[in-house]
Amino acid sequence: MMKKIFLFAFIAFALNVKAQFTLEHTYDSAATWNYCTGNASQLMIVKFEVSGERYVKINRCGPGSISIYDMNHAFIKKISLAALPHSAGQVDVIIYLSEHLFDADPGIEFMYVSDSTVFSTTKIYNEDGSLLFTSNGIPNIIMNVHLQQYPIYNTSVGTKMILSYENGQAKVFSLSGTLTSAIQAANENILSQQSLVSNPYPNPSTQSATIDYQLPDHINRGEIVFYNLQGKEVKRFTVDNTFDSLHISATDISAGTYYYLLVTESGSSTGKKMVVIK
């Protein structure tokens, strides 16, 4: 009996040694989820050119903000997004956070892309709110653009895993191992395997709308799922490789704003927005 107990204890110890997950910190309003009313918030690690590795939390709700923390989770500064154009009371897509990509000063700059029925713009902002660049052109590859956000990062203070929760929180876990170069390369190559959907046309829609889509390689079936602003599913359409567009009737859909995404067994596309008017 003693031998069995010792063997069990040894196995338990061995498993504990092989897999170590330590909760480091919890961030509120940072989950990449159906948070607020459609646009998710974000928590990521960005290696800036001057200040180095930092946790970056983008809160898309309300006026919005970008909060910067050091690798010990100590707060550094907050950048207000209140002056940016908003869609349905929320911040749109923020990409390419950097210190030297857009100008030479050590402050943080970022690209802000807003694509709606009211306005479509690309703007470059400095952290002090000053506008460095603006154009009514937008990057149509936005769904594939590198967002600087992954679930696992190799950092100078160990390997970190970031998970999102339905209550809007994001949690950072410390891992015992290291992300291998092969997995890292796979992460960076994942863009070629994404599900893609276009903006609807026409938009706003009155009677009907068309949505173009592209399934990932080697995937033959998927679903385009519609949600209202409260995150409740309202419509679901099955699609396959027979066609590359979906024609939907809006006659049985109430007037309002909806978000939709293409879901397949390999993952989901980023959401798009459709406005129905009567």
Residue-wise pLDDT for 52-79, tens only, equals 889 999 988 888 899 999 999 999 999 9
Same domain, 91 and 107: yes
State what percent of residues in the chain have pLDDT above 70: 78
Identify whether 6 is part of a domain. no
Domain that holds residue 233: 195-276
Of the three residues 145, 165, 192, the one that is the final residue of a domain is 192
Please indicate, yes or no, whether residues 80 and 180 belong to a single structural domain of this protein.
Answer: yes
**250: its two tokens:** 């809006």
Residue 7 located in a structural domain: no
> Is residue 176 located within the same domain as residue 137?
yes
Q: Examine the domain organization and report whether 215 and 87 are in the same domain.
A: no
The answer on pLDDT for 182 being more than 70 is no
pLDDT tens digit string along 191-235? 445 567 888 888 888 888 999 888 887 888 899 988 887 777 888
How far CA 41 is from CA of 164, 205, 248, in Å, comes to: 10, 28, 29
Among 192, 225, 257, identify where a domain stops: 192
CA atoms of 190 and 204, how far apart (whole Å): 32
Looking at the fold, whether 47 and 147 belong to one and the same domain comes out as yes
Domains contained in the chain, number? 2
49 & 183 share domain: yes
We report the CATH number of the domain holding residue 258 as 2.60.40.10
Q: Lowest mean pLDDT of 2-16, 83-97, 104-118, 140-154, name the range.
A: 2-16
